[in-house]
Amino acid sequence: MNSLGLIPIAAGGTPVQLTTQSLGAAVALISPKPGNAGPVYVGRKGMNTSSGVGVLGVVPKPASATTGPFASFQLPPLTGQGGYRLDELYIDGTTGDGVYVAYQ
């Protein structure tokens, strides 16, 4: 597995690109930062978190910043279809929240 590290949300309501590098992945696991105040939405550029258009999944906020649970969102494996382009994925949520991204 590889890691993009922590991807922070600088301003809620403004989607954040996971990476500007052209990276492909067969599998991507997106986990919440401990202490997130709300859910983090994962989707395509231009996603609308109110209507759900462009949203691929949601990373729930942890019940506890110290003990979790830290539920993750995993994009289904796409090994036979060329995989995902991580530079085409975005997150959005509460200002100051974030996610960790692992991929293979």
pLDDT at 85: 92
Confidence bin at 76 (pLDDT 50/70/90): confident
pLDDT at 30: 97
pLDDT at 81: 65
pLDDT at 55: 97
pLDDT at 80: 66
Give me the numbers of helices (H) and strands (E) for the chain, helices first please: 0, 10
Q: What's 32's domain CATH number? A: 2.60.120.770
β-strand pairing of 16-17 with 24-25: unpaired
Number of compact structural domains in the chain: 1
Q: Exposed (0-12), middle (13-18) or buried (19+): which is 73, by Cβ within 10 Å?
A: buried
The string of pLDDT tens digits covering residues 4-48 is 999 999 999 999 999 999 998 998 999 999 999 999 999 999 999
Strands of 28-32's sheet in order across: 2-8, 98-103, 28-32, 73-75
What is the domain extent for residue 39?
A: 2-103
Residue 74 has pLDDT above 70, yes or no: yes
What size, in residues, is the chain?
A: 104
How far CA 72 is from CA of 22, 82, 104, in Å, comes to 23, 23, 16
Whether this model's pTM surpasses 0.75: yes
The string of pLDDT tens digits covering residues 89-100 is 999 999 999 999
